[in-house]
């Protein structure tokens, strides 16, 4: 796994539902370590432990990963950005944000966390830009042409 950056969330679609996996096979399919799979088993991932090697149902593993990914999501209120320092949804200082183009369909709101002063950000759809403009005070500048 050297050279490949690991993401925080694994893709459940990398697992075939009809197959069973040994711990090492599941780790290889998902690009995680064997220790990660063992931690998931301790955390509640069901295994077939009637004989060794222990097997993991592809359907059970996929369901476990989807539930784990869903539980890690932190939805934001309409007036919040994600603060990278607090790791939570926070209001920006004085509700002031810069609206920077991200893609042809999205923009990024960037502001300063009112609690810790760290960077805070949020992706928005360009279609909803006017809704967010009513909530936040968009800073004027060259980069706000979304």
Q: For residue range 71-123, what is the model confidence (pLDDT) as tens digits? A: 877 788 888 888 888 878 888 888 889 888 888 999 999 999 888 888 898 88
Choice between 20 and 75, residue whose per-residue pLDDT is larger: 20
CB count, 10 Å around CB of 56? 23
Rg for the chain (alpha carbons), in Å? 21
DSSP 79: T
The pLDDT assigned to 30 comes to 93
Residue 128 banded pLDDT, cuts 50, 70, 90: confident
pLDDT over threshold 70, residue 34: yes
Phi and psi at 36, nearest 5°, equal -65, -45
The token pair at 37 is 């799979």
Answer whether 48's CB lies under 8 Å from 55's CB.
yes
Structure tokens at 105: 């369909």
Confidence class for position 146, pLDDT limits 50, 70, 90: very low
Task: Give the whole-angstrom CA distance, residue 136 versus residue 109.
Answer: 9
pTM of the model: 0.60
Look at residue 2 and tell me whether its pLDDT is greater than 70.
no
How many whole angstroms separate alpha carbon 117 and alpha carbon 129? 24
Query: What CA–CA distance (Å, rounded) separates 115 from 40?
Result: 34
Q: Say how far apart CA 85 and CA 78 lie, in whole Å.
A: 20
Encoded tokens for 136:
């936040």
Which secondary structure element, helix H or strand E, spans residue 47, and what is its range?
none
């Amino acid at each position: 796994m050297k050279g490949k950056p690991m993401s925080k969330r694994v893709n459940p679609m990398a697992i075939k539902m009809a197959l069973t996996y040994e711990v090492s096979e599941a780790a290889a399919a998902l690009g995680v370590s064997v220790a990660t799979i063992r931690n998931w088993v301790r955390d509640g991932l069901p295994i077939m432990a009637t004989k060794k090697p222990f097997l993991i149902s592809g359907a059970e593993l996929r369901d476990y990963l989807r539930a784990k990914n869903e539980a890690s999501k932190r939805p934001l209120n309409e007036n919040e950005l994600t603060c990278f320092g607090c790791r939570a949804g926070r209001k920006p200082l004085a509700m002031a944000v810069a609206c920077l183009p991200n893609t042809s369909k999205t923009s990024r709101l960037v502001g300063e966390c009112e609690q810790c002063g760290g960077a805070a950000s949020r992706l928005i759809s360009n279609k909803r830009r006017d809704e967010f403009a009513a909530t936040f005070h968009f800073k004027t500048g060259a980069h706000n042409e979304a």
